[in-house]
Amino acid sequence: MKMTKEVVDKRRKKIMQKIQVKGTVNVEELASELNVTPLTIRRDLQYWEDMGAIERFYGGAKLVQNFVEHDIDPNEAYKHAIAKFAATFVDDGDTIFINTSSTALLVIKYIIGKRVTIITNNGKAIFCDHDPNVQIVMTGGELRFPKETMTGDFALNNLQRVKANKAFLGCNGFDNEVGMSTAILPEVIINESMISRCSGAAFILADATKINYVHQFVVAKPDSFAYLVTDTRVPAEQIEEFEETYGEEARERYGVDAIEASTARLLNMSQRRMGYKNNARRINQRTAVPSHGNQRYFKRRSPRVGAHASEMDSSSLGRTIQQRGLSRIG
């Protein structure tokens, strides 16, 4: 039976995840585990070797250490834009928490020329290219496949022995009323610990596909965060709603007026370089969001750009929402 491209891509991604965790894999073991023939596995390994990700040897393959997996996720450009902008809030000497989110993990890539300590339960941080001044500390814990997350009592106990002054957390969903939520129960207590052990501002990083979605397990209320960093696909009325609901408290709690001024200068410089005008605007009327019970849902919208994600300029995609104190890009 001929397999669809979706099935093939999913299998190849699983293989790459295993290689990233183990370093090496065996053809026969993969064939047995994935219920395909060894020939199919060899073809999949050939695909990754052609991508420059692995080196094949007789009976198996090993990871090329400097390889960064090319992800065809259509949100990838937006995730990079969010991470790149979030990294501008990192200062020299900071200690920061980063959770298992792929978007939050990308922040590491954009911290340049600053002495920073990163504490994370994201096992994929091992494979991240980073500035030599950046020190990465792993929480340890039970490694959960396929996200390579570290959870459990060991991770929690280690987190309770450290503090950070900033936290950059991704999520499966972020809602104006419910807040941050996840689909993975063991990650709830870890994320809660990162928030409680953070002495400064906590940032929630969420692309448009996560906004106004509520998953099974709630981590923290919206007012637990000083900033929500998202992308330009989120409707303006949604941004206004966040600001109206949480802006004033964030100013009082985190002193974000000073940060807002810094953000505005950064925004203006970026837009001048790109030849853009500052088109930030105020929305005077709120638009009702369809609701269903206690959960609010936001219908996903297609990106307002015609180019493929890899062709987009990430600086044109980012937007920052300051709860109860709004700054926007885009």
pLDDT (0 to 100) of residue 67: 54
**pLDDT value of position 254:** 56
pLDDT grade for 313, boundaries at 50, 70 and 90: very low
Rounded to a whole number of angstroms, the CA Rg of the chain reads: 21
Place of tokens 């104006």: 176
- Give the residue-averaged pLDDT of 38-59: 87
The CATH 1.10.10.10 portion of the chain extends over: 5-63
Q: What type of residue is 158?
A: N
Mean pLDDT across 246-272: 42
Write out pLDDT tens, residues 230-255: 988 888 888 877 777 766 666 565 55
Least confident range from 10-14, 114-118, 133-137, 262-266: namely 262-266
Q: What is the pLDDT of residues 203-217, one digit of tens each?
A: 999 999 999 999 999
Element (H, E) at 241: helix 236-254
Please state, in angstroms and rounded to a whole number, the distance separating the CA atoms of residues 71 and 132: 25
> How much is the pLDDT for 66?
52
Tell me the CATH number for domain 76-270.
3.40.50.1360
CATH 1.10.10.10 fits 5-63, yes or no: yes
Question: Which residues make up the CATH 3.40.50.1360 domain(s) of the chain?
Answer: 76-270
Pairing of strands 173-175, 179-182: antiparallel
